[in-house]
Amino acid sequence: MTLTKNLGIYQQAGAPNASSLIEEHAPLVKKIALHLMARLPASVQLEDLMQAGMIGLLEAAQRYAAGKGATFETYAGIRIRGAMVDEIRKGDWVPRSVHRNARRISAAIKTVEDRTGREAQDAEVAEELGVELSEYHSSLADANSGRLFSLDELNESGELPIEEQEASDNPLDGISAGAFQRSLAEAIEALPEKEKLVLSLYYQEELNLKEIGAVLGVSESRVSQIHSQAALRLRGRLSDWRENGDS
């Protein structure tokens, strides 16, 4: 994709310094694409992600308003990543059975934790599902391929995009988003230490699964299992957030 070919419409729309913003932050598109590629099946092409991400960057340059509380890099990163995720979802490459298994695992984790009042262990979840431990770990790996964006989706469900927050006339929107963010932060803090560390290295430090495995001294597949279990554990713990939040 040629940058200059796509800049005309945005410059005509009056976006300040759109060209310089895009040229300066174009490497961010590849960085985010490569980070996502480390978690995606081979059927997803880097070029497709970068093309979608560049569209997100172009839109960010058009819509960004300085002085609204977020740097352009932060704002653009949100739109770039969102555009890439939308492109992946359009591909519909995840079998329905994977989504069903993910829901079953999440429900089983919640059932065990509600019953015991503590963190569910792998063997307990496997027993709840009525499968062998090895089969449970295999299901976690499959679920990870279909729920790579679990944590991001949790954030998106409680946190409005920047421009929507600014335009919203509903005073309850901010309260709802703030309450969800607090609940999510508390749920993450209550995760088992290894799961919390994996999420931190993955989302904050932006390490890929192989790099996290090197840090923890475990295989890449084991990191994938831990990441998946953390996301599904959060999903189960936050499943009744709306009811609790509205009460």
pLDDT in tens, the chain (247 residues): 444 444 443 344 444 577 888 888 899 999 988 887 776 666 678 888 899 999 999 988 888 876 566 788 888 888 898 888 888 777 655 667 777 888 899 899 999 999 999 999 999 999 999 999 999 998 887 776 554 444 554 444 333 233 333 333 444 444 455 676 777 778 888 899 999 999 888 877 778 788 899 999 999 888 888 988 988 888 888 876 644 544 4
The distance in angstroms from the start CA to the end CA of the chain is 50
Q: How far apart are CA 11 and CA 4, in angstroms?
A: 11
Q: Give dist(CA 110, CA 193) in Å, integer.
A: 18
In 3D space, the residue among 166, 101, 165 whose CA is nearest the CA of residue 137 turns out to be: 101
At which residue do the structure tokens 């964006």 appear?
149
pTM score above 0.75: no
> DSSP secondary-structure letter at 119?
P
